[in-house]
Amino acid sequence: MRTLLRSVALLALVAAPALAAADGDGPVNLLKPEWGLMFWTLIIFGAFAFVIAKFAIGPITQAVAAREALLREALDAAQADRAEAQRLLAEQKAQLDAARAEGQKFIADGRAIAEQMRADMLAETKQQQDELMARARRDIETEKSKAIGELRREAVDLALSGAGKLIEKNLDDATNRKLVEDFLASVGKSR
């Protein structure tokens, strides 16, 4: 209601110069100065400026200040949120880097363990191979010794048989055998 009354009063003030100028002489020349019109225009302008300054500029200034404060708070909150987001991002990056480093460490440890196991298995295989070779050499030596002993016995038997046929007389087996074995041993030493 109060605003409506103010609006009507302002309308009357604005309309007053126009009514004063319309005295019915004919067309109005706007370029010709009319002192009455100028007076009323200045009075109305002054009243209007006073009313605006008294009732409108204060609330408009307060609204602008409030809006500015809200914008400033929003900017401050946005900056704080941005700083928090950057901090969280840096923290996440650090955790990710730590996880990557730990993963690389696990991979390196796994590789080292695999290399160690490979080296151990190679050493064990080499040891088993050496043992097999040593056993095979022993077996070969044993078989060789048996074969040589058997060949000697057969050679002695053949020599005795051949000598017995030559002499046609069979001498004592133990004495003959000892004689041939001594002869073969002396032949083996001379070689």
Encode the chain (191 residues) as per-residue pLDDT tens digits: 677 777 777 777 666 656 655 555 667 676 777 788 889 889 999 999 998 888 888 888 899 999 999 999 999 999 999 999 999 999 999 999 999 999 999 999 999 999 999 999 999 999 999 999 999 999 999 988 888 888 878 777 777 776 666 665 555 677 777 777 777 777 666 65
Q: Please, how many CA atoms are within 13 Å of residue 167, restricted to the half-sphere of its CB? A: 10
The verdict on residue 157 lying in a domain is: yes
Sequence-ordered alpha helix ranges (H) in the chain: 2-21, 35-51, 58-167, 173-190
Please count the structural domains in the chain. Answer: 1
The verdict on residue 181 lying in a domain is: yes
The verdict on residue 2 lying in a domain is: no
Q: What is the span of the domain harbouring residue 166?
A: 142-190
The verdict on residue 149 lying in a domain is: yes
Identify the CA nearest to 153 among candidates 172, 173, 133: 173
The verdict on residue 37 lying in a domain is: no
Give pLDDT, residue 165. 61
- In the numeric block, which tokens belong to residue 104? 């690389």
pTM greater than 0.95? no
Give pLDDT, residue 33. 78
The verdict on residue 166 lying in a domain is: yes
Give the span between the Cα atoms of 161 and 176, in whole angstroms: 10
The verdict on residue 106 lying in a domain is: no
Q: Are the C-beta atoms of residues 38 and 54 closer than 8 Å to each other?
A: no
Q: Are the C-beta atoms of residues 22 and 28 closer than 8 Å to each other?
A: yes
- In the numeric block, which tokens belong to residue 135? 């056993």
Give pLDDT, residue 10. 73
Give pLDDT, residue 129. 92
The verdict on residue 174 lying in a domain is: yes
Q: How far is CA 129 from CA 47, 105, 119, 125, in A?
A: 119, 35, 15, 6
Give pLDDT, residue 172. 64
Phi-psi region at 168: left, alpha or beta (left = phi > 0; alpha = psi -120 to 50): left
